[in-house]
Amino acid sequence: MTMPSGVVAGDQLLAFLSGDSSGNSWSATGWTAIGGPTSSATPDGQSFECFTRVATGSEGGTQTFTYTGSGGVLCIITAHSGRASAALTSSNLVATANTSSNTSPVTMGATGLTATSGDDLVAFYALDDGTTTDTFSYSAPTGFTVQQSNTANTNFNAGALFTEDNVSAGATGTITCTATRTGSGTSGWCAYVVRIPAAGPTITSQPQAATGIAGQTATFSVTATGSGGLSYQWRKNGSNIGGATSSSYTTPTLDMTYNGALYDVIVTDSVGSVTSNTALLKVIIVPAVAWLRA
Protein backbone atom coordinates (compact mmCIF):
# COMPACT_ATOMS: atom_id res chain seq x y z
CA MET A 1 0.00 0.00 0.00
CA THR A 2 1.43 3.39 -1.02
CA MET A 3 1.99 6.11 1.58
CA PRO A 4 0.47 9.57 1.01
CA SER A 5 2.88 12.29 -0.10
CA GLY A 6 4.29 14.84 2.34
CA VAL A 7 4.21 12.71 5.50
CA VAL A 8 6.40 14.12 8.29
CA ALA A 9 7.16 13.21 11.90
CA GLY A 10 4.14 13.61 14.18
CA ASP A 11 1.49 12.91 11.54
CA GLN A 12 -1.26 10.50 12.54
CA LEU A 13 -1.52 7.68 9.98
CA LEU A 14 -4.63 5.59 9.37
CA ALA A 15 -4.89 2.52 7.16
CA PHE A 16 -8.33 1.25 6.13
CA LEU A 17 -8.62 -2.31 4.83
CA SER A 18 -11.47 -4.34 3.38
CA GLY A 19 -11.27 -8.04 2.50
CA ASP A 20 -13.64 -10.01 0.31
CA SER A 21 -14.23 -12.92 2.69
CA SER A 22 -15.57 -13.00 6.24
CA GLY A 23 -13.73 -14.62 9.13
CA ASN A 24 -10.29 -13.66 7.85
CA SER A 25 -7.71 -11.40 9.48
CA TRP A 26 -5.27 -8.56 8.88
CA SER A 27 -1.85 -7.89 10.43
CA ALA A 28 0.91 -5.30 10.05
CA THR A 29 4.25 -4.70 11.76
CA GLY A 30 4.46 -1.40 13.65
CA TRP A 31 0.76 -0.62 13.31
CA THR A 32 -1.99 -0.91 15.94
CA ALA A 33 -5.38 -2.33 14.99
CA ILE A 34 -8.33 -0.37 16.37
CA GLY A 35 -11.15 -2.39 14.81
CA GLY A 36 -13.84 -2.08 12.18
CA PRO A 37 -17.43 -3.12 11.51
CA THR A 38 -18.11 -6.79 12.14
CA SER A 39 -18.34 -9.08 9.14
CA SER A 40 -21.57 -8.16 7.43
CA ALA A 41 -24.35 -10.34 6.14
CA THR A 42 -23.31 -9.69 2.54
CA PRO A 43 -23.47 -12.29 -0.23
CA ASP A 44 -19.72 -12.93 0.11
CA GLY A 45 -19.07 -11.57 3.59
CA GLN A 46 -16.33 -9.06 4.30
CA SER A 47 -13.47 -8.58 6.76
CA PHE A 48 -12.63 -5.03 7.82
CA GLU A 49 -9.89 -3.42 9.90
CA CYS A 50 -8.45 0.00 10.67
CA PHE A 51 -4.79 0.36 11.69
CA THR A 52 -3.06 3.42 13.14
CA ARG A 53 0.41 4.67 14.02
CA VAL A 54 2.34 7.95 14.29
CA ALA A 55 4.87 8.85 11.59
CA THR A 56 8.44 8.96 12.89
CA GLY A 57 9.87 11.07 10.07
CA SER A 58 9.49 11.91 6.40
CA GLU A 59 7.98 8.68 5.09
CA GLY A 60 7.14 7.50 1.61
CA GLY A 61 7.14 4.33 -0.46
CA THR A 62 4.92 1.43 0.49
CA GLN A 63 3.60 -0.26 3.63
CA THR A 64 2.93 -3.98 3.93
CA PHE A 65 -0.31 -5.39 5.37
CA THR A 66 -0.91 -9.14 5.49
CA TYR A 67 -4.33 -10.57 4.72
CA THR A 68 -4.90 -14.12 5.95
CA GLY A 69 -7.65 -15.57 3.80
CA SER A 70 -9.03 -15.60 0.31
CA GLY A 71 -10.74 -13.02 -1.87
CA GLY A 72 -9.78 -9.57 -3.09
CA VAL A 73 -8.72 -6.71 -0.84
CA LEU A 74 -8.92 -2.91 -0.76
CA CYS A 75 -6.40 -0.75 1.14
CA ILE A 76 -6.21 3.03 1.63
CA ILE A 77 -3.86 5.11 3.85
CA THR A 78 -4.51 8.65 5.03
CA ALA A 79 -2.30 11.06 7.03
CA HIS A 80 -3.32 13.87 9.40
CA SER A 81 -0.84 16.60 10.20
CA GLY A 82 0.38 17.20 13.74
CA ARG A 83 -2.00 14.84 15.55
CA ALA A 84 0.67 12.69 17.25
CA SER A 85 -0.50 13.47 20.77
CA ALA A 86 -3.90 11.97 19.99
CA ALA A 87 -3.18 8.26 20.54
CA LEU A 88 -5.96 6.36 18.82
CA THR A 89 -7.77 3.34 20.23
CA SER A 90 -10.99 1.46 19.48
CA SER A 91 -12.87 4.31 21.21
CA ASN A 92 -11.96 6.54 18.27
CA LEU A 93 -13.97 4.33 15.91
CA VAL A 94 -17.07 6.43 16.45
CA ALA A 95 -19.54 5.32 13.76
CA THR A 96 -20.04 2.04 11.90
CA ALA A 97 -22.52 0.18 9.75
CA ASN A 98 -22.57 -2.80 7.42
CA THR A 99 -25.28 -4.50 5.39
CA SER A 100 -26.13 -5.94 1.98
CA SER A 101 -27.99 -4.12 -0.75
CA ASN A 102 -28.77 -4.88 -4.38
CA THR A 103 -30.05 -1.38 -5.17
CA SER A 104 -28.31 1.43 -7.01
CA PRO A 105 -27.80 4.07 -5.86
CA VAL A 106 -27.18 2.70 -2.38
CA THR A 107 -27.18 4.99 0.67
CA MET A 108 -24.56 3.97 3.24
CA GLY A 109 -24.83 5.56 6.68
CA ALA A 110 -22.25 5.21 9.47
CA THR A 111 -24.23 5.77 12.67
CA GLY A 112 -23.35 6.65 16.24
CA LEU A 113 -21.09 9.61 15.54
CA THR A 114 -19.94 11.90 18.36
CA ALA A 115 -17.36 14.60 17.61
CA THR A 116 -16.29 17.90 19.17
CA SER A 117 -14.95 21.15 17.78
CA GLY A 118 -11.42 20.79 16.43
CA ASP A 119 -11.61 17.06 15.72
CA ASP A 120 -10.67 15.54 12.36
CA LEU A 121 -13.11 12.96 10.97
CA VAL A 122 -12.22 10.26 8.45
CA ALA A 123 -15.01 8.28 6.79
CA PHE A 124 -14.28 5.07 4.90
CA TYR A 125 -16.83 3.29 2.69
CA ALA A 126 -16.18 -0.05 1.00
CA LEU A 127 -18.33 -2.04 -1.42
CA ASP A 128 -18.04 -5.77 -2.04
CA ASP A 129 -19.46 -6.57 -5.47
CA GLY A 130 -20.25 -9.81 -7.24
CA THR A 131 -18.50 -8.92 -10.48
CA THR A 132 -15.39 -7.00 -11.54
CA THR A 133 -17.19 -5.42 -14.50
CA ASP A 134 -19.12 -2.98 -12.31
CA THR A 135 -17.80 0.47 -11.44
CA PHE A 136 -18.94 2.95 -8.80
CA SER A 137 -19.21 6.68 -8.24
CA TYR A 138 -19.51 8.32 -4.82
CA SER A 139 -21.04 11.48 -3.42
CA ALA A 140 -19.14 12.79 -0.41
CA PRO A 141 -21.01 13.20 2.89
CA THR A 142 -22.00 16.78 3.73
CA GLY A 143 -18.98 18.76 4.93
CA PHE A 144 -16.47 16.14 3.74
CA THR A 145 -14.06 16.15 0.81
CA VAL A 146 -12.89 13.20 -1.29
CA GLN A 147 -9.36 12.23 -0.34
CA GLN A 148 -9.09 8.97 -2.23
CA SER A 149 -11.52 6.98 -4.34
CA ASN A 150 -11.20 3.57 -5.94
CA THR A 151 -14.12 3.46 -8.38
CA ALA A 152 -12.94 0.51 -10.46
CA ASN A 153 -14.16 -2.72 -8.92
CA THR A 154 -10.75 -4.41 -8.58
CA ASN A 155 -10.85 -7.87 -7.02
CA PHE A 156 -14.55 -7.44 -6.24
CA ASN A 157 -13.87 -4.41 -3.99
CA ALA A 158 -14.34 -0.68 -4.48
CA GLY A 159 -14.18 2.10 -1.92
CA ALA A 160 -13.80 5.75 -1.08
CA LEU A 161 -12.21 7.76 1.70
CA PHE A 162 -13.57 11.14 2.82
CA THR A 163 -12.19 13.63 5.35
CA GLU A 164 -13.51 16.56 7.33
CA ASP A 165 -10.62 18.35 8.98
CA ASN A 166 -10.93 20.55 12.07
CA VAL A 167 -14.66 20.19 12.66
CA SER A 168 -16.00 23.66 13.41
CA ALA A 169 -18.68 22.50 15.86
CA GLY A 170 -19.76 19.41 17.71
CA ALA A 171 -21.36 16.72 15.56
CA THR A 172 -23.58 13.74 16.33
CA GLY A 173 -25.67 11.27 14.36
CA THR A 174 -25.07 9.61 10.99
CA ILE A 175 -22.58 10.30 8.19
CA THR A 176 -24.14 9.23 4.89
CA CYS A 177 -22.52 8.50 1.53
CA THR A 178 -24.35 7.58 -1.66
CA ALA A 179 -22.74 5.19 -4.16
CA THR A 180 -24.04 4.63 -7.69
CA ARG A 181 -23.22 1.38 -9.50
CA THR A 182 -22.89 0.91 -13.25
CA GLY A 183 -23.80 -2.75 -13.73
CA SER A 184 -25.97 -5.29 -12.00
CA GLY A 185 -23.75 -7.10 -9.51
CA THR A 186 -24.87 -7.97 -5.98
CA SER A 187 -23.31 -5.65 -3.43
CA GLY A 188 -22.59 -5.63 0.27
CA TRP A 189 -21.08 -2.58 1.92
CA CYS A 190 -19.53 -1.24 5.08
CA ALA A 191 -19.00 2.25 6.43
CA TYR A 192 -16.98 3.46 9.36
CA VAL A 193 -15.75 6.76 10.73
CA VAL A 194 -12.66 7.46 12.85
CA ARG A 195 -12.41 10.54 15.06
CA ILE A 196 -8.93 12.04 15.46
CA PRO A 197 -9.08 14.36 18.48
CA ALA A 198 -7.60 17.81 18.25
CA ALA A 199 -4.12 17.69 19.73
CA GLY A 200 -3.96 21.06 21.46
CA PRO A 201 -1.84 24.05 20.41
CA THR A 202 1.51 23.72 18.66
CA ILE A 203 4.29 26.29 18.99
CA THR A 204 5.86 26.86 15.59
CA SER A 205 8.31 29.61 16.62
CA GLN A 206 9.77 29.66 20.14
CA PRO A 207 10.74 32.78 22.15
CA GLN A 208 14.40 33.61 21.62
CA ALA A 209 17.06 34.80 24.06
CA ALA A 210 17.50 38.56 24.07
CA THR A 211 20.09 41.11 25.09
CA GLY A 212 18.76 44.42 26.35
CA ILE A 213 20.41 47.67 27.31
CA ALA A 214 19.81 49.11 30.77
CA GLY A 215 17.38 52.00 30.45
CA GLN A 216 15.65 50.43 27.42
CA THR A 217 13.21 47.51 26.92
CA ALA A 218 13.36 44.00 25.43
CA THR A 219 10.68 42.11 23.51
CA PHE A 220 9.89 38.38 23.30
CA SER A 221 7.44 36.77 20.87
CA VAL A 222 5.91 33.39 20.06
CA THR A 223 4.05 31.91 17.07
CA ALA A 224 1.54 29.08 17.56
CA THR A 225 -1.34 27.27 15.90
CA GLY A 226 -4.32 25.52 17.46
CA SER A 227 -8.05 24.89 17.51
CA GLY A 228 -10.25 27.93 17.97
CA GLY A 229 -8.82 31.15 19.37
CA LEU A 230 -5.45 31.17 21.12
CA SER A 231 -4.70 32.84 24.45
CA TYR A 232 -1.30 33.62 25.97
CA GLN A 233 0.18 34.07 29.44
CA TRP A 234 3.80 35.21 29.70
CA ARG A 235 5.85 34.33 32.76
CA LYS A 236 9.05 35.60 34.32
CA ASN A 237 11.04 33.02 36.27
CA GLY A 238 7.95 30.80 36.41
CA SER A 239 5.54 33.48 37.71
CA ASN A 240 2.73 35.02 35.65
CA ILE A 241 3.25 38.59 34.46
CA GLY A 242 0.11 40.66 34.91
CA GLY A 243 -1.41 41.85 31.63
CA ALA A 244 1.09 39.94 29.47
CA THR A 245 -1.50 38.08 27.42
CA SER A 246 -0.65 38.59 23.76
CA SER A 247 1.66 36.75 21.38
CA SER A 248 4.49 39.15 22.22
CA TYR A 249 5.70 40.72 25.46
CA THR A 250 7.76 43.84 26.02
CA THR A 251 9.48 44.28 29.36
CA PRO A 252 9.40 47.44 31.47
CA THR A 253 12.47 49.67 31.36
CA LEU A 254 15.39 47.43 32.19
CA ASP A 255 17.88 47.67 35.01
CA MET A 256 20.40 45.10 36.18
CA THR A 257 17.84 43.27 38.33
CA TYR A 258 16.44 41.85 35.08
CA ASN A 259 19.77 40.33 34.07
CA GLY A 260 19.50 36.53 33.90
CA ALA A 261 15.69 36.42 34.03
CA LEU A 262 13.98 33.56 32.22
CA TYR A 263 10.82 34.19 30.19
CA ASP A 264 8.33 31.70 28.77
CA VAL A 265 4.69 31.70 27.66
CA ILE A 266 1.74 29.33 28.09
CA VAL A 267 -0.36 29.05 24.92
CA THR A 268 -3.93 27.75 25.31
CA ASP A 269 -6.61 26.81 22.79
CA SER A 270 -10.01 25.08 23.00
CA VAL A 271 -8.34 21.69 23.55
CA GLY A 272 -5.41 22.25 25.87
CA SER A 273 -2.23 24.18 26.69
CA VAL A 274 1.47 24.05 25.88
CA THR A 275 4.39 25.87 27.50
CA SER A 276 7.15 27.36 25.37
CA ASN A 277 10.86 27.00 25.84
CA THR A 278 12.43 29.52 28.23
CA ALA A 279 14.30 32.51 26.82
CA LEU A 280 17.16 34.15 28.73
CA LEU A 281 17.32 37.91 29.10
CA LYS A 282 20.78 39.45 29.37
CA VAL A 283 21.04 43.10 30.41
CA ILE A 284 24.12 45.19 29.66
CA ILE A 285 25.22 48.69 30.57
CA VAL A 286 26.53 50.88 27.81
CA PRO A 287 29.17 53.26 29.20
CA ALA A 288 28.53 56.96 28.74
CA VAL A 289 30.78 58.58 26.16
CA ALA A 290 32.59 61.72 27.27
CA TRP A 291 33.03 64.31 24.54
CA LEU A 292 36.11 66.44 24.81
CA ARG A 293 36.06 69.93 23.34
CA ALA A 294 39.26 70.82 21.54
Q: Which of 1-10, 17-26, 107-116, 146-155 has the highest mean pLDDT?
A: 1-10
Q: What is the CA radius of gyration of the chain?
A: 27
**Structure confidence at residue 234 (pLDDT):** 98
Cβ proximity of 220 and 235 under 8 Å: no
- The domain 202-284 is placed in CATH, from the list 1.10.10.10, 2.60.40.10, 1.10.3720.10, 3.40.50.170, at 2.60.40.10
Least confident of 52-56, 65-69, 214-218: 65-69
**Structure confidence at residue 116 (pLDDT):** 76
Per-residue model confidence as pLDDT tens digits over 170-227: 667 777 777 777 766 656 677 778 888 877 788 889 999 999 999 999 999 999 987 6
The predicted model gives 39-52 an average pLDDT of: 63
The sign one gets for the Cα dihedral 201, 206, 210, 216 is negative
Q: Which of 72-76, 100-104, 142-146, 202-206 has the highest mean pLDDT?
A: 202-206
Provide the pairing of β-strand 219-221 with 239-240. unpaired
Write down the domain spans for the chain: 12-196, 202-284
Report the amino acid identity of residue 44: D
The more confident residue out of 44 and 88 is 88
pLDDT at residue 144 is higher than 90? no
Cβ proximity of 76 and 150 under 8 Å: yes
The predicted model gives 132-154 an average pLDDT of: 74
Instruction: Give the whole-angstrom CA distance, residue 11 versus residue 56.
Output: 8
pTM over 0.75: no
- The three-class DSSP label of residue 34 is strand
Percentage above 70 pLDDT, the chain? 76
The predicted model gives 24-48 an average pLDDT of: 69
Report the amino acid identity of residue 94: V
**Structure confidence at residue 193 (pLDDT):** 84
Per DSSP, helices labelled H in 106-201 are none
Least confident of 57-66, 138-147, 169-178, 279-288: 169-178
Strand order in the sheet with 32-35: 32-35, 47-54, 12-19, 73-80
pLDDT at residue 41 is higher than 50? no
Distance linking the first and last C-alpha atoms of the chain: 84
Per-residue model confidence as pLDDT tens digits over 277-290: 999 999 999 886 65
Instruction: Please state, as a whole number, how many other Cβ atoms lie within 10 Å of the Cβ of residue 134.
Output: 21
**Structure confidence at residue 246 (pLDDT):** 97
Question: Residue 191: which residues within 8 A CB-CB, separation 6 or more?
Answer: 37, 95, 96, 97, 98, 108, 109, 110, 123, 124, 125, 126, 175, 177
Instruction: Please state, as a whole number, how many other Cβ atoms lie within 10 Å of the Cβ of residue 287.
Output: 5
Report the amino acid identity of residue 149: S
Q: What is the mean pLDDT of the chain?
A: 80
Q: What angle do CA 196, 200, 205 make, to 5 degrees?
A: 125
Instruction: Give the whole-angstrom CA distance, residue 194 versus residue 183.
Output: 31
